[in-house]
Amino acid sequence: MKKHLLAGAAAFAMMTGIAFAQGTSSESSTSTQSTTTQSVPPVGSYNSYEKQRNTDSNGNGTETSKTFRSNGNGSKATSNSETTSRDGSEQSASHETQIDSPEGSSTSSKTTTTTTDH
């Protein structure tokens, strides 16, 4: 009789344990979705950017950047350059811009500044 009672208790414990496990387990899922939107340039558009840093044999540093953009409204080219002497006593900066319209007209400008500390 003890065997039947123990077997019944074990069976009861296993059934309630399984039922308990089934009752407390839950299925959950997490879904993450990210959307990246990129604007696509119109057909016939072009953008370019370039940046360079150089040091000559005397230790003078030059940083140059160039940008070019072209689309249905024309094109624009920009160039910036800054040169600094090794000891920092002389600096030179230049800025050039050229804008071309789709009708064929062109506008350009150039500015150069030199600063010397004595």
Average pLDDT taken over every residue of the chain: 77
Strand order of the β-sheet with 61-71 is: 46-55, 61-71, 74-84, 90-100, 106-116
**Which residues, 6 or more positions from 94, have their beta carbon under 8 angstroms from its beta carbon?**
79, 80, 81, 82, 110, 111, 112, 113
Q: What's the pTM value of the predicted model, to 2 decimals?
A: 0.57
Please state, in angstroms and rounded to a whole number, the distance separating the CA atoms of residues 46 and 108: 20
What residue ranges of the chain have pLDDT lower than 50? 2, 4-5, 18-23, 25-26, 28-32
CA distance 74 to 60: 36
Give the pLDDT of residue 26.
Answer: 47
Cα separation, 107 vs 27, in Å, equals 67
The answer to whether 106 and 81 are in contact (CB under 8 A) is no
- Helix spans in the chain (H): 2-24
